[in-house]
A and B are shown apart, each in its own frame.
Chain A
Amino acid sequence: MFPLIVAHIFVLIIVASVAFHFWSPWWWTPVASNWGGMDDTILLTFWVTGAVFIAVCLFMAYCIWRYRYQKDRKAEYKPEDKKLEFHLTWLTTLGVIVMLAPGLVVWHKYVTVPEDALNVEVVAYQWGWKYRLPGEDDILGKTEIKFISDENPFGLNLKDPNGKDDILVDSGDLHLQIDKPVKFLLRSIDVLHNFYVPQFRGKMDMVPGHVTYYWLTPIRTGDFEVLCAEFCGVGHYAMRGRVIVDDEKNYNQWLAQQITFEKMLAQNKIDNKSLKLVKNIE
């Protein structure tokens, strides 16, 4: 009796897991970037592995019942079965290849940035986000952590002329234009962070001293939450921001309202003295 109950419970676990999957209201948010391919690789992996899980567990449940202990039963004595093991090995290898190959293809796309992508710098700090966009020259000015000060919160190198027209979004939301590829240049001024928008799927850590990157093309307009996905201290969970994907008109409108580095410096009334200070540091 007991083996029958145990076998049934194991079958029930599988049935419940499958039922949970189909009735679960919890699934990913609709994708808002070109990385739908990532969802597809998840689905592919999900079905392959799900089938394996169900098959192994059901087979096990069958064995529990079918080969339950009987005093006069003789278990089979078979140390190995080369043929069976060989078939199982290549079958598994095949399954692995089926899952791995599409993954590598999508990864290749993920790390190959299109040339026309707009560079957008994301600066992370404990605990918030700042953004910088290139100005009319399309080039971001050089930065270093040691240049950061109250007047120069992004740490731009004052000697680099390319930085003058950079557009700074010190507090506030980042806007992106729909269907235009962006390359996020990720920078941290203190500890590790990770720029994560669930709907965009992409992720990459920001490492102080390095500039990391990833790219995407927003494919639908909307208002998305930014979260930090690398533990960064006690305020990690509160490190949120907002990204808004606009159509071209709204995007340009927003862009026109942002200030450039030059204007910000003027606002901050940087005089020659602090410029000298920078020279001294150099």
Chain B
Amino acid sequence: MKKEEGIFKILSQKPWEASQAVIDNDHDGKTFGISKAKLGVRTIMTVSTVIFSLFIVAYADRMLIHDWRSMPEPWLLWVNTAVLIMNSYFFHNVKISADQNNSKEIKRGLYTVGLLAYSFLIGQIIVWYQLLSLGYFAASNVANAFFYLFTALHGLHLLGGLYFWGRVTSKFLKGNYKLPSVQHAIELCAIYWHFLLFVWLVLFGLMLFT
């Protein structure tokens, strides 16, 4: 792996000087020693973090206004949270089995992960139905609206992750893959899943304590 230079060090280079040119000619044209895909996932996670942070700021700002009435958290939400934690845990296991090239374990792991993710989403939809049947509509109070908004956005992110999970799973099942590429894909999916768990815990915690 190549050595990465600090941003300030890079910015103070004088590219026109002969002594710098000698060093620069050796440069392989990459700034970070990670794959493009990994950098891509990190960028996406950064953008998502900004989106969720702004929603949280909006939530905090809006909460201070007198008409705010907090919403109850149905017990099913705790179950869903547990499912998502398990989901993340199993994804970690898939990654380990992928690193060990244990194809049986990879296959089983990918199925488990997908199943858990879909049950989380179904669980979230059931929570919606429960709350709606109790009369907690989005229009009736803005706290409700934030709840639906957060869960929907988080669910959409998960669906996006499931698309990539579907691609890697189908590729794996068809058998025409190169191992490093699948390992790498599973690693990236796992990172993304941990990120989604983290986002959910923050959002759930926020709604729980306010």
> Do A and B actually bind?
yes
Chain A residues proximal to chain B, CB less than 8 Å = 79-80
User: How long is the Cα–Cα vector from A79 to B16 in the complex, in angstroms?
Assistant: 7
User: How long is the Cα–Cα vector from A80 to B14 in the complex, in angstroms?
Assistant: 10
Tally of chain B residues near chain A (CB < 8 A)? 2
> How many interface contacts (CB-CB < 8 Å) are there between A and B?
3
B14 contacts across to A, CB distance below 8 A: 79-80
Chain B 46-73 interface mask (CB, 8 Å, partner A; 1/0): 0000000000000000000000000000
A79 contacts across to B, CB distance below 8 A: 14, 16
A80 contacts across to B, CB distance below 8 A: 14
CB distance from B181 to the nearest CB of A (A): 44
CB distance from B15 to the nearest CB of A (A): 8
Main SS at interface, chain B? loop
B16 contacts across to A, CB distance below 8 A: 79
Chain A residue at smallest Cβ distance from B17: A79
User: How long is the Cα–Cα vector from A215 to B14 in the complex, in angstroms?
Assistant: 54
CB distance from A81 to the nearest CB of B (A): 13
Chain A residue at smallest Cβ distance from B65: A209
User: How long is the Cα–Cα vector from A80 to B13 in the complex, in angstroms?
Assistant: 12
3 contacts between A and B (CB under 8 A): A79-B14, A79-B16, A80-B14
Chain B residue at smallest Cβ distance from A78: B16
User: How long is the Cα–Cα vector from A80 to B15 in the complex, in angstroms?
Assistant: 11
User: How long is the Cα–Cα vector from A80 to B16 in the complex, in angstroms?
Assistant: 10
Chain B residue at smallest Cβ distance from A209: B65
Chain B 8-23 interface mask (CB, 8 Å, partner A; 1/0): 0000001010000000
CB distance from A91 to the nearest CB of B (A): 23
CB distance from B11 to the nearest CB of A (A): 13
CB distance from A145 to the nearest CB of B (A): 13
User: How long is the Cα–Cα vector from A79 to B21 in the complex, in angstroms?
Assistant: 14
CB distance from B27 to the nearest CB of A (A): 19
User: How long is the Cα–Cα vector from A79 to B15 in the complex, in angstroms?
Assistant: 9
CB distance from B66 to the nearest CB of A (A): 10
User: How long is the Cα–Cα vector from A79 to B20 in the complex, in angstroms?
Assistant: 14
User: How long is the Cα–Cα vector from A10 to B16 in the complex, in angstroms?
Assistant: 33
CB distance from A156 to the nearest CB of B (A): 19
Chain A residue at smallest Cβ distance from B15: A79
CB distance from B51 to the nearest CB of A (A): 26
Chain B residue at smallest Cβ distance from A80: B14
Chain B residue at smallest Cβ distance from A79: B16
User: How long is the Cα–Cα vector from A79 to B18 in the complex, in angstroms?
Assistant: 13
CB distance from A53 to the nearest CB of B (A): 30
